Every structure is written in structure tokens, then in C-alpha cells.
């Protein structure tokens, strides 16, 4: 294993400057969702190319997309070594409500060893750490232990609408052995976590129609089946009383949790009772044969996201509405294919629709395949060793019920293993006022990244 003392010292000696540079970066209001910040987005991208070149990377470039640009750079001078693709995003969320910030979101401020600013943890702070890790390794050794490509996106906070097209068009440029992303939190202080599974997503809108037009319930009461009642019956039929999804074949392709995973899940210090209390519900709900954590992380779910029909105003309107609508989405797990699930839902709807009702469906945007990398994968284990070396703690292997578009795209289009090795904390106010980043994880994380790159360099084979 390579020497770590050199870069440890380097980080200590350069800490002030590094934090000043990060504050300069965070002071650029790179809000991707607001057209008024277009110039800031370009400024942030340009700032990154300059920083990357200064750190020792080569060919740093701002690549245009149909939306905000992607920043790319590379260092490919280790021909016998694996190539690590570092992904991050330089765009941030809006800052409303501004009045709730203790210090202005784009005037980064350090208080109590925490750096307060929009983007401090999500994701500019974490992305910046990778640049500084590269800088440190180059400064200490004159070279990197592996080949590195960086790909910093500017549209993550708006659901990466152009990232799939970008990756599809730049597969050669982005070719690598493993992707590493630092955009997730530790489990808690001092306890690292590696996210090895994300759910997929698919959804559809249901449009149900009964009689030809809205009817007066006095003149036509007792003559037709009320389409809102028919929609209620149809929606009720999707999920059984006990929480099991009642769509035929819905679970067919689900890859069951292995005994190892079940054991690992049971070891996660997840407090279901605290979750229940924070949600303000009498009890948690879902498939009875699985734990709350299993359901949330590793079982597919179906939710009605919206439903509507008829009169929503004040007072009384005695109408029998002609149509009813609903939107549903499913979170999918390993083995499930979005299109196949959508087809099964459509079959269910046609089979269970009350007699005489017409039901049409349209697939919603945002389909994503489920993603997971086995925890035994050499790249995951390399990250685990890096965490152990720097945090002194075995990482927890965790999942999340959500989707990260970039992960899904890298996995689906390029079949790459992805290491979600983050340094945030769960309480750092992502997307909220007073977003901040604990500097202890800035310091420790810089060393973890260097250690991880050395670990990758030491692998005899990167593929699991």
C-alpha cells in the first residue's frame, strides 16, 4: 500500500487555502432550475476546469449539452492501472425561504467547524474534495495511482434531463472501470456507509371514463355507475389490505434478498420506532413478512401520487362526473424491468376495471432501472478498506429507495460498477435553509478518497 503520510501532511498544511477555494466555489450561485442563474452555471463550470488543470488534470473542458454543460477532465498516464470515473454535480437547489438562513446561502461561513452555504454538502463540497485529493496526490508523488476521468454534471438537481443523452453520445470519452460518487451521507458521525443499491422507477397516468358527459345526480341518479367510485374501486384493487401489491406477477422478477443481505439488514442500527414517530403515524405499514427497512430498501413499492375527478370547490355540486384520473409510480428492485411492470399494471387495470368503464393509460416520464452492485465487488471492498483506514470503522452497506439518475444511466448504458462513497451527514439540511458540511468529514474524507484510489490501484482485478 502506498504511503499516506505525505498527503496527510499536505492536507494539513494546505487546509486554509483549500477551504478558501471551496468558499470561492460555493459563492457562485449555480442554481440550475432558475434561468436567471444561467451565467452562474457557466462561471461555475469554468471555475472547475481551471481548478482541475491547477490540480494536475489534463484536457479539462466544458462540454455543452442541450441544458447546462458537463465539465470533463482526465489524467490517463497510468496505462496498466484501472480507470476511475469521478462523477459529481456542481448545480445546487434554490435557496427559498431565504429568511430562514442564519447567514446568506452564497456567503459561505464557518461556525463550530461546520461550513454553511448552499451546496456545502450537496454536492459542491464533496465534489471539490475529489479535486483536492488529486491535487494532493500529484503534489506529493508527481502522478496518480490510477487513471482518472472526472465528469461533473450541472443538472442533477433538476433530475438530469440531458445526462442520459450526454452519456450515450460520449461513451468512449467516459469509458472507465468504475465510477465513484460522493453525494450520500455517512450513517451517523464516525460511521461510514456505502450505498450499494438504488431502486428503479416507473409510473403511469390512469384516465377512466364512464358515461358520455357529466350528469346531474338528480335527473340521472341511480342510472349509471359513478366513475369516481369506479376509480376508487380500481385504485383500491392495486394494493391488498395488508399492504401487498395485488397486481398479478408484480413480484415475479424480484430478486429475493440473500440470507447474507437479510443478516446484514438486521445488523443495521435502523430505528423503525423513531421513524414511525417522526412520520406521525400509529404504525408503519407494508408487506407484513418484511421488516420496515427491507420494505424501504429492497422491496418494490407502489404509490398513488395523485388522484382527481369532479368537483373540488367550496360547497355542493350534485354532479356525476364523467371521468376520473390518477397517477401512480412504482419503485422497483433488482430483477424488475420498468416496461414489464407498466405492462402488468395495465393488464391489471383492464382486468379489474368495473364493467362499462373505459380505462386508458399513459406512461409517465422518469423511468429508471433498479441498480445494485454486490457488496463483495472489489471496488466496494476497496472503498470499505479506505473507510476503515481513515474512519477506523467498518462501513455499513446501505440502500436507498430513491433513484439517482446518473447512477442509473452509468449502470444501464455503460454497465459500470458504481461506488457511492459519501462524506455528508444526515442532518446537513440538504435542499433546505442552513445547508452545511461538517469539516471533520472534509478532513477525513480527503484522506479516504486518496486511500480509495490507492486501493483501486492495488487491485488485481477490478471486476467482481
The residue (of 199 and 447) whose beta carbon lies closer to a copy of itself is 199
Q: Give least dist CB 327 to a copy of itself, A.
A: 6
Pick the closer one to a copy of itself by CB: 217 or 361: 217
Active site residue 91: yes
Q: Counting every residue, how long is the chain?
A: 464
Which three cell numbers, joined as nine digits, stand for 126? 464533496
Q: Which is nearer to a copy of itself, 190 or 220 (CB)?
A: 220
Calculate ∠ Cα 204-369-262, nearest 5°: 110
The least distance separating a copy of itself from the CB of residue 215, rounded to whole angstroms, comes to: 7
For a copy of itself, the closer of residues 169 and 213 by Cβ is 213
CB of 168 to a copy of itself, least distance (A): 21
Can 169 be counted among the known catalytic residues? no
- Tell me whether residue 158 or residue 459 sits nearer to a copy of itself (CB atom): 158
Per DSSP, 156 falls in state: G
Q: Which secondary structure element, helix H or strand E, spans residue 340, and what is its range? A: helix 338-352
Output the smallest distance, CB 458 to a copy of itself, in A. Answer: 35
Q: Please state, in angstroms and rounded to a whole number, the distance separating the CA atoms of residues 415 and 85.
A: 13
Catalytic position from the list 21, 40, 74, 91: 91
Q: What angle do CA 80, 86, 89 make, to 5 degrees?
A: 165
Closest contact distance (angstroms) between CB of 156 and a copy of itself is 15
Separation in Å, CA 113 to CA 126, 439, 440: 16, 6, 7
Report the candidate in 147, 137, 129 with the shortest Cα–Cα distance to residue 6. Answer: 137
With respect to a copy of itself, which residue has the nearer C-beta, 3 or 277? 277
C-alpha pair distances (Å), 366 with each of 155, 197, 354, 404: 14, 18, 29, 11
8 A C-beta contact, residue 403 and residue 201: yes
C-alpha cell at 96: 427559498
N-term to C-term CA, the chain: 21
Helices (H), 378-423: 378-391, 405-414
Which of 123, 156, 428, 435 is labelled catalytic?
A: 156
Tell me the H-state helices in 33-74. Answer: 38-55
Q: What is the SS3 assignment for 445? A: helix
What cell does 342 get?
407498466
> In the complex, what is the shortest distance from the CB of residue 368 to a copy of itself, in angstroms, rounded to a whole number?
10
Q: Which is nearer to a copy of itself, 50 or 318 (CB)?
A: 318
Q: Output the smallest distance, CB 307 to a copy of itself, in A.
A: 5
Q: How far apart are CA 304 and CA 270, in angstroms?
A: 26
Per the structure block, which three cell numbers stand in for 261? 443481505
**Among all residues, which ones are annotated catalytic?**
91, 156
Amino acid at each position: 500500500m502506498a504511503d499516506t503520510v505525505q498527503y496527510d501532511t499536505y492536507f494539513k498544511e494546505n487546509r486554509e487555502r483549500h477551504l478558501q477555494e471551496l468558499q470561492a466555489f460555493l459563492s457562485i450561485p449555480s442554481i440550475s432550475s432558475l434561468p436567471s442563474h444561467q451565467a452562474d452555471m457557466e462561471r461555475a463550470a469554468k471555475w472547475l476546469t481551471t481548478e482541475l488543470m491547477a490540480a494536475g488534470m489534463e484536457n479539462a473542458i466544458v462540454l455543452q449539452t442541450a441544458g447546462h454543460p458537463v465539465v470533463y477532465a482526465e489524467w490517463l498516464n497510468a496505462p496498466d492501472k484501472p480507470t476511475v470515473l469521478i462523477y459529481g454535480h456542481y448545480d445546487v437547489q434554490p435557496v427559498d425561504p431565504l429568511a430562514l438562513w442564519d447567514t446568506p446561502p452564497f456567503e459561505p461561513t464557518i461556525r463550530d467547524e461546520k461550513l454553511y452555504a448552499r451546496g456545502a454538502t450537496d454536492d459542491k463540497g464533496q465534489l471539490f474534495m475529489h479535486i483536492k485529493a488529486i491535487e494532493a496526490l500529484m503534489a506529493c508523488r508527481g502522478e496518480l495511482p490510477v487513471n482518472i476521468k472526472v465528469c461533473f454534471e450541472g443538472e442533477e438537481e433538476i433530475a438530469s434531463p440531458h445526462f442520459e443523452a450526454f452519456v450515450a453520445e460520449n461513451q468512449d470519452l467516459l469509458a472507465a472501470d468504475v465510477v465513484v460518487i460522493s453525494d450520500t451521507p455517512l450513517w451517523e458521525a464516525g460511521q461510514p456507509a456505502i450505498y450499494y443499491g438504488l431502486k428503479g422507477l416507473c409510473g403511469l397516468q390512469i384516465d377512466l371514463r364512464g358515461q358520455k358527459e357529466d350528469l346531474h345526480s338528480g335527473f340521472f341518479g341511480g342510472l349509471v355507475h359513478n366513475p369516481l367510485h369506479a376509480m376508487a374501486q380500481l385504485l383500491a384493487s392495486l394494493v391488498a389490505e395488508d399492504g401487498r401489491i395485488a397486481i398479478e406477477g408484480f413480484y415475479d422478477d424480484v430478486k429475493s434478498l440473500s440470507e447474507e443481505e437479510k443478516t446484514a439488514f438486521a445488523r443495521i442500527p435502523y430505528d423503525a420506532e423513531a421513524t414511525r414517530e417522526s412520520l406521525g403515524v400509529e404504525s408503519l405499514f407494508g408487506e407484513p413478512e418484511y421488516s420496515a427497512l427491507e420494505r424501504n430498501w429492497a422491496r418494490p413499492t407502489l404509490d398513488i401520487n395523485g388522484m382527481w375527478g369532479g368537483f373540488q370547490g367550496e360547497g355542493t355540486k350534485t354532479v356525476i362526473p364523467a371521468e376520473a384520473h390518477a397517477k401512480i409510480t412504482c419503485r422497483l428492485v433488482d430483477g424488475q424491468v420498468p416496461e414489464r411492470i407498466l405492462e402488468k399494471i395495465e393488464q391489471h387495470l383492464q382486468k379489474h376495471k368495473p364493467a362499462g368503464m373505459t380505462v386508458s393509460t399513459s406512461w409517465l416520464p422518469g423511468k429508471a432501472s433498479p441498480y445494485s452492485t454486490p457488496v463483495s465487488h472489489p471496488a466496494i471492498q476497496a472503498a470499505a478498506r479506505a473507510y476503515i483506514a481513515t474512519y477506523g470503522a467498518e462501513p455499513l452497506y446501505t440502500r436507498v429507495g430513491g433513484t439517482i439518475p446518473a447512477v442509473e444511466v452509468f449502470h444501464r448504458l455503460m454497465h459500470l460498477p458504481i461506488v457511492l462513497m459519501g462524506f455528508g451527514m444526515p442532518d446537513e439540511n440538504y435542499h433546505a435553509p442552513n445547508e452545511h458540511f461538517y469539516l471533520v468529514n472534509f478532513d477525513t474524507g480527503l484522506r479516504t478518497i486518496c486511500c480509495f484510489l490507492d486501493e483501486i490501484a492495488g487491485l488485481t482485478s477490478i471486476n467482481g
